[in-house]
A and B are shown apart, each in its own frame.
Chain A
Amino acid sequence: MLNPDDSGSRERGISRRTFLRSAVGTTMVDAASGFLDDAKAAEGSGVPVAVAGPEPVPVTLKVNGVERTLRLEPRVTLAEALRGPLGLTGTKIGCNRGACSACTVWIDGVTVCSCMILAIDIGARSVTTIEGLAQGETLHPVQAAFIEHDALQCGYCTPGLVMSCAALLRNRPDPAAEEVRAAISGHYCRCGTYPHVVAATLTAAKARQA
C-alpha cells in the first residue's frame, strides 16, 4: 500500500468504500437487506441514522443452498466473506476491483464479481460458488468438459471461468463460439486457456442436450 499522503484516491475524495456504497446503493438497494435503505431514508431528515458498523454486524448469507449467519464488518466484500469465514476458497481474488473476473459467482443465477459487492448487500438472494456447482460427486458438464479439453493450466482463474461458462449455458443452451468468447471476455487467463475454454463449453453444451 502506498503512503496515504500521496494517495490519488484520497485526493479525489473517493474511497473504495464510498464507491462501493454508492454503486450498490443506486443499483441494488431494493434487494438489499435494508441498512442502506435506512441510511438513505434518514439522510437530512433529522432522524437518527441507522448506521451499520464499523463494528461487525450479523449477516445471513445463503450460499450453495445453506444459510449461515456471520458477524461481518460492513466493509467485507462477498468474496472476502466466502473465502474467509465461510471457508469457500474456490472463489479467487485476482485484482479485487472487478477487472479480472476470477472471483465470479452467481447471485440468483446471475454472474457477479464477488469482489465488487458487499456481503451485507446480498440480502435474501442466493449465492452459488464453484463449490456448489457439482451435484455431489457428479461434475457439472462444464467442469467435466474443462478436464476433457484441458481448459485449465495453473487453475487460478478456472473457477471463475467455469461459473461464467455454466451460467452462459443456462441462458444459451446451444451457444456459438463467438457467444462463449463474449461471455468470458471479462475474464483474464494469463496461461492462455481461452481456446480450450471455448471448446470445452461447446462440448458441454452438446453434452447437456444429449
Chain B
Amino acid sequence: MATDETQRTEAFPSGIVSVGLSEVKRQIPSDEPPPLPPNAELAVIGKPTARQNGRAKVTGAIRFTVDISLPNMLHGGILRSPLPHAAVAAIDVVAAALVPGVRAILPIATPDAILRYVGAPVAAVAADSPAAAEEALRLIRVDYKPLPFVADLDVARNPASPPVHDSASAPAGDAHGFPAPAGLPLHGNVRGPATVTRGVISQGLAEADIVVEGEYRTAVQTHCCLEPHAIVADWRTDGLTVYMSTQFTAGVRHELAAAFDLPLSRVRVIVDGMGGGFGSKSSLGNYGRFAVALSRQAQAPVRLVLDREEEQMDAGNRPGTWQQLRVGAKRDGTLTAISVLSYGTAGVAVGAGVGSFAEALYACPNFESAQYDVFINAGPGCAMRGPGNVQGAFALEQAIDELAGRLSIDPLALRDRIDPSPVRREERRIGADRIGWHRRRASGADAGPVKRGLGVAQSLWGANVQINASCEVRVMRDGSVEVLSSVQDIGTGIGTVLAQVVAEVLGLRPEAITVRIGDTEFPAGPPSYGSRTTASITPPARTAAWRVLQALCREAAPVLNAAPEQLAARDGKIVVLGDPGRGMKFADAAARLRTDWISAVASRSDDYGGFRRRIGDAAIALQDLGGVQFAEVAVDTETGIIRVERVVAVQDCGRPMNPRQIESQVQGGVLMGISFALFEERIIDQNSGRMVNPNLEQYKLLGARETPEIEVAVLENYQGQSATDAYGIAEPSNIATAPAIANAVYNAIGVRLRTTPMTPAAVLAALGKIPARS
C-alpha cells in the first residue's frame, strides 16, 4: 500500500445531490486521478448511454456459451438420481459404453455412494451426438437402495425425521452461507444456530409499550436463467480452454486450476453473451467439473448444457424460510427490541439464513437473532439476488408496518424516527411524492369487492468491492482505444459502463471505445455477483485511462508547446488548459507514439475512506446501499387475485453511471420481487421427493401481463471513496419489493399475508372464504 510520500490529499464532492453537496477531504494514492466531479459536470458518465453490445443482441449475432461449436465437439449428459435418498448398490456402464458414438463415461456416484436428492448426479457421458449421449445414459444400469427421506422444512426439524446427512457429509458452512459460519452444532437435520446479540433482548421487550409478533414463510424460488447452465470444455495437452456461462471468469479459472492440478497460466475461461445468472452461475459447479473431466478423458471438446428440468432441480435456488419476529417499541415508535428466529432450508446445502437485515436496518439497542439451517432431501440452494435479505425483509418490513398500524403512526413517519440513514430519508421523501402517499387510506377502506392499497418497504444491502479487480486501457497509434478486463457482462451492461469511463477520461465518445471483456487472457476482473461489479472495475478503468492519457500528453506536449500537466482531453482533442485555441486531435497525438500502442493496467485500490471489513479479496464499503419502494395494489376479494398496479422504486448506488441501464436493472429487480411475492414456488411431492413443477409452465413466473407501471428514481450520492465513487444496484433493487406489496395488500384488505407466494388461494384463505392450505 502507498506510503505517505505516495499519497496526496484531494477534496471530493460529498452528499446527496438533491439534498445538497459538501466536500470531503481524502488521502488518495498519488498515481490515481483527481476527484471526478458530480455527473452534471461530466460529458459521458451519468448520461443515458446505449448498450455497447445492443446491436449484437437484437440481431442474434452475439455468441452465448450454448452457441459455441468447436470442431469435433462432443455432447455431454448427466444421469441423475430418480430418488430423493438412496444408496448406490451397483452401477453398470457396459451397455452404455457400447453405444456407437460414446467417447467418455464418467462415474460420479460410485458403489456405496449416497444420493441425497432427486437430480443428484450419478454418472456423465460424452458422445458424438446429443442422441447418442442420451441413449448411453438410458443404458447405464444403477441399482438404487432407497433410504428414508424428508423433503419438508417443518418435518425435517423434528429430531425423529430421517437424517439427510451424517456428521461427515453435512456441510459446515462456507463463505456463501448467509450466514453459515463453520463449527455450528448439528442436531438431527438442524445446523445452528448462528447467533447475533446486541444489548439485552428481555430488557428491551420489558421496556416496550407494544410488542408485535409474527411468523413468516418464504417459498423456495429458483433462478430460472433463460440461458441454462452451460459449458464447452476443451482439454488439450498444452492447456485447458473453457467457454462457460459464468458470473466470474477469473474465479472459475482458479477453481479449474485447483480441481485439475493445472497452473493458472494453462487455464483460460471465456464468456461473451451470458444469459443470466442471478447468483446461480457464481462458480464452476459440479457440471463444470464433469465437462472438463469428460473432455480430458475423450481428448476432445465437450459441450454440456443442462436442460430446464435439471435447471430447476440442481442449479441452485433461493432457500425457503420460516421466521418468527418480535419487535418491541415505545408509544412514540422508538424501538426497544428486535428478535429474529429463523429456520431455513437450502436442501442438502447450507446458507438458508435471513441475512443481517433486521440487525442493521433500524436503530434498536436490543437485538438478537438465531438462524438455523435445516437439511432436507432436495437440491442445494445457493446465492440468489439479495440472498438472505430478500427473505429477511419480507418479514421485518411487514413487522414494522404492523407496528406502525398498532401505534397509529404513518409507516413513513415511523421510519423517519427509527431509521438513521439520511439516504433512505431522502428516498422516502421522493418516493412518497411520486406514488402519492397522501392518497393512502385506512386498511380495507374500499367498499366494493376490488380493494386498493398502498404499501412501502425498505431495502438494505452491503456495498461490496472486489479489491483484486484489474483493468487495462490501450491507445493505438491510429487513435483507437481498447479497454480490457476478464470481467463478464451478465446482462448488466458493464462493458458499456467501462466504455463510458474510458471515454470520459480520454475526451472521446463511448462508441469509439472497443470493449474486450469476458476472457481471462485480459487482466483479472471482478465477479458479477454481490452487486460489486461496477464498484470494483470502474475505478481501475478510470485510473488506467488516466495513466495512459498522461503518457499520451507527454507525446503531445512538445508539439503544443506546453507542459504535459497543462494538457487535457476533451471533445476528441488534446487541448491546452486555459487556452482553448491550442490543441490537436486525439488521433494526431496518438500518431506520435513511439510504439504501435501504449497501455496502462490498474487495479482497485482500497476505498479512500477505508473499508468496514475485508474478507480475502473482497471488502465491504463503509456506507450501505439501499432503496425504498412503494407499491399500489388492487386485490379482488372474490377471486383472490392481487394485481400490482404501480411500483415506485427509489434507489441509491453511489454515483449512477448509466441511468438507462440502471433503470433496466431496477425494473428487473422489482419484477423479480413481484414474481417472488405472488407466483414463484418450488413444490416438492412429499410422497416421492420430486419437484412437481421442474419447468417453466407450472413453475409460475411473472410475465408481461403481470407487469405494472414502474417508476424508477435514483439518487446521486457521493462519498469520495474511489476514482468513480460508483457502487452496485442489482440486489438492493430486489429486496424491498415483496414486503412493499404485502404491506399494500394489508392496506387494501385489512388482513396480513405472511407467506410467499401470495396466491389467490392464500388471499381467499386469509379472508376466511376458503379453508387455509395445511
Q: Is the CB of B58 within 8 A of A152?
A: yes
Within A143-183, the residues touching B (CB, 8 Å) are 143-144, 146-148, 150, 152-159, 162, 180-182
Tell me how far the C-beta of B360 lies from the nearest C-beta in chain A, rounded to whole angstroms.
Answer: 27
Residues in A whose Cβ lies below 8 Å from that of B660? 150
Residues from chain B with a CB closer than 8 A to the CB of A83 are 67
Task: Given A139-B59, A197-B704, check contact A192 B671 (CB 8 Å).
Answer: yes
* In the assembled complex, B318 has its CB within 8 A of some CB on chain A: no
Q: A153-B492, A153-B493 are in contact. Are A92 and B66 (CB under 8 A)?
A: yes
Say yes or no: A181-B138 contact (C-beta < 8 A), given A92-B227, A154-B226, A190-B672: no
**A157 to B131 CA separation, bound complex (whole angstroms):** 26
Q: Is the CB of A153 within 8 A of B665?
A: yes
Determine if B60 and A131 form an interchain contact, defined as CB atoms under 8 angstroms apart.
yes
Give the docked Cα–Cα distance between A4 and B95 (Å).
15
B residues contacting the other copy or chain, number (CB 8 A)? 72
> Is B661 in the interface zone, CB < 8 Å from A?
yes
A75 to B55, CA, bound (A): 33
A202 within 8 A of B: no
Nearest to B226 among chain A residues (CB) is A156
Closest to B68 in A: A89
Number of interface residues of A (CB under 8 A): 63
Instruction: Give the interface segment out of A23-31, A33-41, A94-102, A116-124.
Output: A94-102
Q: A131-B60, A156-B64, A196-B664 are in contact. Are A148 and B274 (CB under 8 A)?
A: no
Whether B60 and A154, one on each chain, are in contact in the complex, defined by CB atoms closer than 8 angstroms, is no
Identify the closest chain A residue to B673 (Cβ).
Answer: A192
Which residues of B sit under 8 angstroms from A109, Cβ to Cβ? none
B420 contacts the other chain (Cβ, under 8 Å)? no
Given A1-B137, A156-B227, A182-B705: A195 touches B710 (CB 8 Å cut-off): yes
Q: Are B663 and A150 in contact (CB under 8 A)?
A: yes
In the bound complex, CA of A130 to CA of B705 (Å): 24
Q: Is the CB of A102 within 8 A of B226?
A: yes
Contact of B275 among A4, A154, A182 (CB under 8 A): A154
| Cβ 8 A contact of A156, one of B276, B704, B710 | B276
In contact, B696 and A188 (Cβ under 8 angstroms): yes
B667 touches A155 (CB 8 A): no
A148 and B660 CA atoms in complex are apart in Å by 10
Report yes or no: A147 in contact with B55, Cβ–Cβ below 8 A.
yes
Is B269 an interface residue when CB atoms closer than 8 A count as contact? no
Complex Cα distance, B81 from A10, in Å, reads 17
CB neighbours of B62 from chain A (8 A): 155
Query: Which chain B residues lie closer than 8 Å to A150 at the CB level?
Result: 50-51, 54, 493, 660-661, 663-664
Binds A, one of B72-80, B535-543, B549-557: B72-80
Quick check: B60 and A139 within 8 Å, CB to CB? no
- Chain B nearest CB, measured from A139 CB (Å): 7
Query: A188 near B226 (CB under 8 angstroms)?
Result: yes
In whole angstroms, what is the CA distance A61 to B237 when docked?
Answer: 41
- Which residues of chain A come closer than 8 Å to B51, judged between CB atoms? 147, 150, 152
Interchain CB contact under 8 A, B58 and A1: no
A6–B685 CA distance with the chains assembled, in angstroms? 15
Chain B 427-445 interface 0/1 with A at a Cβ cutoff of 8 Å (1 = within): 0000000000000000000
Is A81 among interface residues, defined by CB-CB distance under 8 A?
no
Known: A93-B66, A155-B53. A192 touches B672 (CB 8 A): yes
Q: Which residues does chain A contribute within 8 Å of B53, judged by CB atoms?
A: 155
Whether a CB of chain B sits under 8 angstroms from the CB of A15 is no
Is the Cβ of B54 less than 8 Å from the Cβ of A181? Answer: no
Q: Does A191 contact B (CB under 8 A)?
A: yes
Q: Which of B61, B122, B228, B670 contacts A192 (CB 8 A)?
A: B670
Interface residues of B in 36-58 (CB under 8 A from A): 50-51, 53-58
A194 touches B491 (CB 8 A): no
**In the complex, what distance in Å separates the CA atom of A158 from the CA atom of B83?**
37
Known: A150-B660, A154-B276, A192-B669. A90 touches B59 (CB 8 A): yes
Q: Which of B50, B307, B309, B672 contacts A147 (CB 8 A)?
A: B50
- In the assembled complex, the Cα of A150 lies from the Cα of B66 at a distance in Å of 23
CA distance A186 to B703 in the complex (A): 8
Residues of the A chain whose Cβ atoms lie less than 8 Å from the Cβ of B134: 1
Knowing A96-B308, A139-B55 are in contact, say whether A194-B60 is a contact too (CB < 8 A): no
- Which residues does chain A contribute within 8 Å of B355, judged by CB atoms? none
Write out the residue numbers on chain A whose beta carbons fall within 8 Å of the beta carbon of B697. Answer: 95, 97, 99
Whether the Cβ atoms of A193 and B701 lie closer than 8 Å is no
B546 contacts the other chain (CB 8 A): no
Taking a contact as CB atoms closer than 8 A, the residue among B67, B83, B670, B703 that contacts A188 in the complex is B703
A192 to B666, CA, bound (A): 9
Q: Does A3 contact B (CB under 8 A)?
A: yes
Asked if B225 is an interface residue, CB under 8 A from chain A, the answer is yes
**Cβ-based interface call for A52 (8 A):** no
How far apart are the CA atoms of A189 and B278 in the complex, in Å? Answer: 13
Q: Within 8 Å CB of A157, what residues of B? A: 226
| Interface membership of A198, Cβ < 8 A | yes
Residues of chain B within 8 A of A73, CB atoms compared: 131
Q: Quote the shortest CB–CB distance from A95 to chain B (angstroms).
A: 5
Interface pair B705/A89, CB less than 8 Å apart: no
Residue from B59, B77, B81, B138 within 8 A of A130 (CB atoms) = B59
B671 and A153 within 8 A (CB): no
In contact, B224 and A188 (Cβ under 8 angstroms): yes
Which residues of B lie under 8 Å from residue A87 when comparing CB positions?
Answer: 69
Q: Which of A7, A94, A153, A195 sits near B491, CB closer than 8 Å?
A: A153
User: Which residues 610-662 in B have Cβ within 8 Å of A in the complex?
Assistant: 660-661
Would you list 14 pairs from A and B whose C-beta atoms are within 8 A, ordered by A residue? A7-B82, A88-B60, A90-B60, A93-B66, A95-B696, A99-B308, A129-B60, A152-B58, A154-B227, A154-B273, A156-B64, A192-B672, A192-B707, A198-B707
- Excluding A3-B122, A150-B664, A152-B51, 16 further A-B contacts by CB distance (< 8 Å) are A1-B77, A7-B82, A75-B131, A88-B60, A89-B67, A95-B695, A153-B664, A155-B275, A184-B704, A186-B703, A188-B696, A190-B226, A190-B668, A191-B276, A194-B704, A198-B707
